[in-house]
Every structure is written in structure tokens, then in C-alpha cells.
Structure 1
Amino acid sequence: MTETVAAHRQAGHRVRLEWGPTGAAAVAAGADIAVVVDVLSFTTTLTVAVERGITVYPFRWKDERAAAHAAERDAVLAVGRFEARQGQAGVSLSPSSLTTVEGVERLVLPSPNGSTIAFALADSGATVVGASLRNAGAVAAWLAPHVAAGATLAVVPAGERWPDGSLRPAVEDLWGAGAVLAAMQAVLATGRPVDLSPEARMAARAYADVAGTVTEALLACASGRELVDVGFADDVRTAAEHDASTVVPVLDGEAFVAGA
């Protein structure tokens, strides 16, 4: 491993942060816990589902094996927001729509960013947790004793994709990651200082900038504006419900369940 690659792993810090699937693989290497943050899609929908007692299986986006993967687990396969709007039956990636779904016990929930990252991290050796603004405080409280005991933490804002498939760092995921880190620092304030990498500290500071105006900030940011413009404002508002949930989705084997 070259010196540059080692530096990008942020291995000198116990709390690390990096973007997207490539960044996840880098900072989760050797980490005890990996926190995936995908505020306007996967992890908010995941939190809503787990709140409702649904077991959620992450999976890669647009993988032709998804239907078989769901069938083998006697699970419902979720579709994308736009597929649902075009008349495809079933559950979608829309978090607001999932608040009223009934009769679903197991759900395969593919997404291009958060779910794909979580699926890839399943075999990393790290405990994988799903975080969003809706459950940031609960995740922070769950993480704090682990970090206080010496656990290494990798936080992964998922980001979005440009049309050419390249990573688009998305400010809402930075805020979500920062909300978790800021709350965790507050819980641990009476103990030893938490060793955050500069990247992780930057996320906590970014969240502090919008902490009092989260809904307005989400509705105004590029990703939020995109959803509002195509009729999914309710999803943005659901994602902005800061600390509305006390559930902590933890990947147990191949499925997310509520963490103890």
C-alpha cells in the first residue's frame, strides 16, 4: 500500500469520514463500525421501514438479480420513486410513501448510493449502521459507548450521481453525517475528546450551520430542489424530521434490523 492510499484511509484517526462507495471501502478498512448516510433516499426510507417492524435487505441498484434475491427471502422488492409513479405496484424508495405501507414484513431496498454502499460493506468486518437526520440522535447515542470504549468509526455520506455516473458529493448527506457526529460529540463531552479526522470535523461544523433551519436547507439544496420540482416535496420534509425516530438500523448478516 502506498503512502498516499494510507493517508486517504485516515488511519491516524478513530473517527473517519469519506464519500461514496470508493471512500467507504477506504475508511471502513479496519474500522469496527461503518455508518452509511443517504438522507434523501435510502437511509431515511430504511429508518421508516425499520420503525414499522420491516426487515430490510440492502442490494445493488439495477441489478437483474434483485427480483430473485427478494423471492429467495420471501421479501417484497422495492422500486424507484419514478417507477412507482409510472404505475409499478408495490413499495418504493419514497420514505413518505412507506409511512403508510401495510402487510410488508421483509423488503429488498435497492438504491444507487446508500443501499449499494451498505451491501458492499456487509463483508467488510465492520458493523454497518444506517443513519439519517431522522435518527441522528439515536445513532449518536448508540455509537457513543462503542467509541468511548475504543471502537474505530467510519462515517460514509453516500452522495449522489451525475448523469455520467461519477460521484456528486451531496450537501444533505454531509449535514446528516455531521448531525450524527455533533450529537455523538455532545454525548461524549464529559469524557476524553473524540479523535475526529479533519474530514469528520468539517461535517459536524457543516451541520451546525443549518441546525436551526434543516427543513428550509433541505428544500433549498440541489438534491432537495430536484425532488421538489418533480413532485416529491413530502419526501424532503420526511427526511428533514430531525430526531423524529429512535430506531437504529443495524445490518445483522444480510438484513437491517433495529439495533438494541
Structure 2
Amino acid sequence: MFDQQSYRYRMEWGIRGARDAAARGDIVVIVDVLCFSTTTIVAVHAGMQVIPASPQTDVATLAKTWQAEVAHPRQTAGEGYSLSPTSFLRGTNGNNRLILPSPNGARCSTACRTATAVFIGALINAQPVSRHIQQLSHELDKPVTIIACGEQWNDPISGDNCLRPAIEDYLGAGAILAYIDEELSPEADVCRSAFRGSLKRLDDLIWDCGSGRELRERGFADDVHLARKLNLYSTVPGWVGGVFQNVGADVDPKAF
């Protein structure tokens, strides 16, 4: 049976990888660069508590339970919050709880809520989240799995695996792994090497990748520009009490 369990640091793909990591009791990092992870980091930096919502979630009931605002679809958000990370650069409107629907990052996040700890990582906080997970891993003696969420194919045929690997998530996972000097699983090692080998071209690769082009063509070039900035934020969203909130500069293992 496939596994990476002889290694402390691992890398997996998508909702199945997230679910299996949670079942093992791993520390999990969710990486969805364009854009759930990037948006969550920016929103939490702005003072929000973020509640992920998968496509199957009853968002209205969830909003009522948490007394939270629901992020709008990008195209109809106007001046409101959306999955666009730049929608949080204007500051918050007083309600500090936000439900953030997403077909990939939120879905993976909700799938691994029973993990030992869950964090949100991306290019914009790669080093801070890497430091956090290393500290917590050794304090709790728990392994870490980095999840590259990937995308979903449009109009899949019945029986298809809908996961479409996304290089922006692979490079985001590799960026987090690049700050780890300990032994990695071969899967994580190759991911780290991919990031290091792409570092000089990182901006162009994120800008021109399929997901980046798609967002730019829909009018969200600013989101792509923000998402490709390495270590722009020190914020580390961690899953605490049912929401993602900033865990601060130090990891308290008693919180997880």
C-alpha cells in the first residue's frame, strides 16, 4: 500500500491526501495558491476569522450558526469580500467572521479537520508556516503532510479522477518544504527541488500557468500578482475552535 509514513515530512495531493493525512493524525498544511490559501492568509492578516465552506456545505445555515458574513462570488462581489485576496486589502467592515466557499482549498480543509493541526500555507507565507510546522512537529512528535490541493477538470466523464494537478500549488508546497533542512519523503524532496529549481522564474511561472491565465482573462490579474509574492506575510492561519485564525509568532502545542 502506498504511504510515506517512514518520513516526518510528506507531500500529498487533493482531498484524498488531506483525508488520509487527517486519519493518520498528521499535522496538515493546505496549499491552494490561486486562491483559497492566499485569500485566507490575507483575510486573517486583516483580522478576520475564516470558516471554509466546501461546495456541499449549507452556507446559509453555517452563516447563521457562526453569525458570519459569506464571501460573494468574484464576479458579483463589487466592494464586498470574495475569494479574491485583493478584496481584503481595503480593510474589514466590522464583522470579523467570514465564510469562504471554495471548490478546492475549502474542500480539502474541511476534509482534514480531525487532523492533529491544520494550517494554511501559500507562497506569501511559506517561511512563517514552515517554521511553525517544524516547531509543532517536534513538540508533539507528529509528522507533517503538505497538501497541494490542485484544481478540478471541467466536465469530467463519469468514473474519471477529477483532480487536475496545479503547478502553482506544487510550487507553493515546495516553497514551504524549502525551509526544512531535515529528511523529506522522496515525494516531498522532489517537490522542494521543483521549487528551488524554479525560483528565478517563479513570478513568470505563476503568472503564465493555466490557473494564472484563467484568472487574468477573467479580470483578476491583481490576484495573481499578489499570490506570487514570496513571504509577503508573517501570518499563519491555524484551525482553532472551528475557524482559521492567526496562531501568532509562537505555536502553543496545547492549542491543538
TM-score of the aligned structures, taking structure 2 as reference length: 0.89
1:96 correspondence with 2:83: no
Determine if the alignment matches structure 1 residue 226 to structure 2 residue 220: no
Cα distance, 1:57–1:130 mapped onto 2, change above 3 Å:
same
User: Is 1:45 the equivalent of 2:39?
Assistant: yes
Q: Which residue of 2 aligns with 1:59?
A: 53
Matched to 1:161, the amino acid is: Q
The range that moved more, 151-160 or 23-32, is: 23-32
Tell me the amino acid that sits aligned with residue 137 of structure 1: Q
Cα RMSD for the two superposed structures? 1.6
Equivalent residue, structure 2, for 1:108: 99
Other structure's SS at 1:57 match: strand
How many angstroms apart in 2 are the aligned matches of 1:76 and 1:46?
Answer: 14
Instruction: Percent identity, please.
Output: 38
Aligned counterpart, 2:72: 79
> Does the 8 A contact of 2:47 with 2:92 survive in 1?
no
Q: Which residue of 2 aligns with 1:132?
A: 122
Distance 1:179 1:127, change over 3 A: same
**CA drift at 1:62:** 5.4
- 2:104 and 2:170 mapped to 1: Cα distance? 14
Q: Does 1:36 align with 2:33?
A: no
Name the amino acid aligned to 1:178: G
Residue identity opposite 1:175 in structure 2: L
Structure 2: segments with no counterpart, 5+ residues = 157-161, 249-256
Could you say if the C-alpha distance between residues 208 and 176 of structure 1 is closer, same or farther in structure 2, counting changes exceeding 3 Å? same
Partner of 1:167: 163
Spell out, residue by residue over 1:6-53, the C-alpha distance to the aligned partner (whole angstroms, 9 max, x if none).
Answer: x2x322222111111012122333233100000011110000011011
- Aligned residue for 2:200, secondary structure, equals coil
Question: Please, which runs of 5 or more residues in structure 1 have no aligned partner?
Answer: 186-193
Instruction: State whether residues 21 and 112 of structure 2, in contact with CA within 8 Å, keep that contact through their aligned partners in structure 1.
Output: no
| Residue aligning to 1:179 | 175
Secondary structure in structure 2 of the residue aligned to 1:164: coil
Q: 1:22 to 1:83 in 2, by over 3 A?
A: farther
* In 2, Cα distance between equivalents of 1:132 and 1:93: 15
Match of 2:13 in 1: 19
Residues 61 and 83 (structure 1), Cα distance of their counterparts in 2 relative to 1, 3 Å cut: farther
Q: Which deviates further from its counterpart, 203-212 or 130-139? A: 203-212
For 1:114-125, what aligned pairs fall within 5 Å after superposition? Answer: 114-122=105-113, 124-125=114-115
Once superposed, which parts of structure 1, at least 4 consecutive aligned residues long, lie more than 3 Å away?
Answer: 147-150
Instruction: Provide the C-alpha distance between the structure 1 equivalents of 2:68 and 2:56, rounded to a whole number of angstroms.
Output: 17
Is the CA contact 1:11–1:27 (under 8 Å) kept in the aligned structure 2?
A: no
Answering whether residue 149 of structure 2 is matched by residue 158 of structure 1, we say yes
| 1: CA distance, partners of 2:178 / 2:137 | 14
Q: Give the secondary structure class of the aligned counterpart of 2:179.
A: helix
Report if the CA contact (8 A) 2:10-2:185 is conserved. yes
- Once residues 203 and 256 of structure 1 are traced to their aligned partners in structure 2, the CA distance between those partners, rounded to angstroms, is 26
Q: Tell me if structure 2 keeps the 8 A contact 1:38–1:114.
A: yes
In 2, Cα distance between equivalents of 1:244 and 1:68: 34
- The one-letter code of the counterpart of 1:229 is E
**Residue in structure 2 matched with residue 68 of structure 1 by the alignment:** 61
Structure 1 contact 28–154 (Cα < 8 Å) conserved: no
* Correspondent of 2:233 among 214, 229, 245: 245
